[in-house]
Amino acid sequence: MKVRQDAWTEEDDLLLAETVLRHVREGSTQLNAFEEVGDRLNRTSAACGFRWNAVVRHNYEKALQLAKKQRKQRQRLLGKDQGGKKKLLYTPPVELDATLMEVTPPVTMEAAGELIPDIPEEKEQFDLEKMVEELNAKTAANQHARFAGSEVQYGYSRQAAPQGLTMQAVIAFLQNYDSTSVHAQALKSENERLKREIANLKKQNEEMEAKIQDLEQNTGVIQEDYETLLKIMNKARKLVLFEEDERPATTFKMDRNGNLEKVAE
């Protein structure tokens, strides 16, 4: 099977994806990213845009959405004056060797815009600062390794892409980061609830201890009153028995009719 000499390789697709995502994330345009990739790969920006929309973009849809969310968050941090302005990250070289120029018609902004449909941004907000720093650092290292030590074109050299970082790994990291953040927030809320519950239980425990102390004091007073009452009752009972012992026995006699009459003492 014959392979075209100008066919796109996996390294070219990876370079195109990383460049587009970097431009979108940092507030630039996809057209500017296509110009940068076109100069690096000796292709036109229109060819890069067609390759992105036809093949590469479908594999990086989630990463593109995350890059747009990050750009939106960056614009909020910078404010409307600075965040709302487009910042082109790449400036094409002014003077180029005539032998390196491709005989292709120039691409206008309107024509390139038709190749780059906008994707609606979701309203969710993510804290991606840590991920962004890691991705930027690894992307810079990948680009440095890719374009060092090979045949020079337009002032750079191409090399096989490193296998350390893939966009699938980045997407998986972001999804896991999102679920971990939600889980951590739930644990934090549960922790706060348990702290409030413990504080309420401590307060109830202190109130119960105070009531127990009052009951113990009242029990002592009741016990003393009870013992005093028992002494009074015993003394009264003894007095009654003593009076009954000293009282003389009553004598009765029966009359003719059988009635009992008390005999006077």
* 185: pLDDT strictly greater than 70: yes
pLDDT at 90: 78
pLDDT at 167: 76
State mean pLDDT over 116-144.
Answer: 51
pLDDT in tens, 48-98: 999 999 999 999 999 999 999 999 888 888 775 555 566 777 787 765 444
* Degrees, nearest 5: CA angle 127-18-43: 155
Q: Report which of residues 153 and 180 the model is more confident about.
A: 180
State mean pLDDT over 21-41.
Answer: 92
pLDDT at 6: 72
| Domain coordinates in residue numbering, the chain | 10-162
Maximal CA-CA distance, the chain: 169
State mean pLDDT over 13-36.
Answer: 92
* 11: pLDDT strictly greater than 90: yes
Q: Report which of residues 168 and 41 the model is more confident about.
A: 41
User: Which residue matches tokens 């005989």?
Assistant: 103
pLDDT at 235: 86
Q: How far is CA 30 from CA 8, 16, 51, 213, 260, in A?
A: 19, 10, 12, 77, 135
Of the listed ranges 37-46, 76-85, 86-95, 177-186, the least confidently predicted one is 76-85
Around Cβ 61, how many Cβ atoms within 10 Å?
11
* 166: pLDDT strictly greater than 70: yes
Kindly state the tokens that stand for 200: 């309420």
- As a whole number of angstroms, the distance between CA 88 and CA 34 comes to 12
- As a whole number of angstroms, the distance between CA 142 and CA 159 comes to 10
Q: Report which of residues 143 and 62 the model is more confident about.
A: 62
State mean pLDDT over 125-135.
Answer: 52
pLDDT at 255: 74
Q: Report which of residues 238 and 12 the model is more confident about.
A: 12
pLDDT in tens, 209-233: 999 988 888 888 898 888 999 899 9
* 158: pLDDT strictly greater than 70: no
pLDDT at 2: 54
Residues 6 or more apart in contact with residue 156 via CB below 8 angstroms? 40, 147
- As a whole number of angstroms, the distance between CA 146 and CA 9 comes to 13
pTM: 0.36
pLDDT at 89: 74
* 159: pLDDT strictly greater than 60: no
Q: How far is CA 262 from CA 198, 254, 256, 258, in A?
A: 82, 9, 14, 13
Q: Report which of residues 227 and 104 the model is more confident about.
A: 227
- Alpha-carbon radius of gyration of the chain: 48
Q: How far is CA 157 from CA 34, 42, 76, 149, 165, in A?
A: 18, 12, 37, 6, 20
* 22: pLDDT strictly greater than 90: yes
